[in-house]
Structure 1
Amino acid sequence: MSTGITHQADAQTAAYDEAQRVQAEEAARVKAERDAAEKAAAEKAAAEKAAADKAAADKAAADKAEADRKAAEERAARSDNRGAVEKVSASAADAQAIAKSMMSASAYTCFSNIVTKESGWRVDATNKSSGAYGLMQALPASKYASAGSDWRTNPATQIKWGLSYMNERYGSPCQAWTFWQSHNWY
């Protein structure tokens, strides 16, 4: 009888050990799943935070560009009360600030290269021989009217027209600048 009891005890011990092993494996699987879920949740939260931070930075940059544009327009309006020499330099700076707020930095660089060559950033620059006028030296000058009735004095109107012209005719200000470099006109 003692042999039967021994086998029974051994079988119970083996069953207990197997149950412990299965329970340990199940606990390890549950822990691994929980760890994976926590890691996925942390990665998702980090990605959402990064996206929110980027959106906030983009909005801040857009708000700053809009504020800069409005400030440039206010300076341009105030510049009408200044002396002639100061008015020319203020108008150029105002026009440049407005242009920067209307396009990317790379497009602005190309746009600025053309405007510097064409008019020196003078809104009222006039070519005596051809009659070309304004920042972009539009010919005839009345082309600017498609962008606004204040085209004779408003740099924003002339810039809006010029940017549209460059995009439509050349594809971008940089492609217009490439053409200008080869032909000394655009």
Structure 2
Amino acid sequence: MGHRLSKIYTRTGDDGSTGLGDGSRVQKDSLRVEAYGTVDEANSTIGVVLTHASVPDSIRSCLLEVQHDLFDLGGELCIPGHSAIEASFIERLETQLDAFNADLPRLKDFILPGGGPAAAACHLARTVVRRAERRVRSLQREETVRSEVLHYLNRLSDLLFVIARRLAREESGQEVIWDRSR
């Protein structure tokens, strides 16, 4: 296990640099820091979803597991050459996605983010995960990033979309349909 922080501030980042997990230092606005920082942001938005009492236990346990995965994924991005995300993580997301989607009606129209507080928070988490995916892709064009990382984020955004649909039905009984004729 890495270092335990007893003192939170070190002043080592005051020059605009930060330490990676391998001990090297990079600028705080580097593609790598931007990528794992956005993964951290995505994890935080999932934490916001979990604060809502209306989240059913099945979704709650799924999202808690995702939070652990995202911490691992951030570690993989923070430590160049480190591997943490496995194909089995992606397969688990697909299984959960299929289960949560099984009894939802087929989409005929676009839906708007909303449907209740937890559903709206889940849509926000989905969009932050999509941004994390874009940041990781930008990093992948410059440095080595394993494909499993992108696959995981892509599948996670799909899962969050389906969970948001379920939460909207739990909270308000319906989703907010985009009215193209308005």
TM-score range, shorter chain: under 0.3
Structure number with the bigger relative contact order (C-alpha 8 A, sep ≥ 6) is 2
The structure richer in helix per residue is 1
The structure that has the greater radius of gyration is 1
What TM-score comes out, normalization by structure 1 length?
0.25
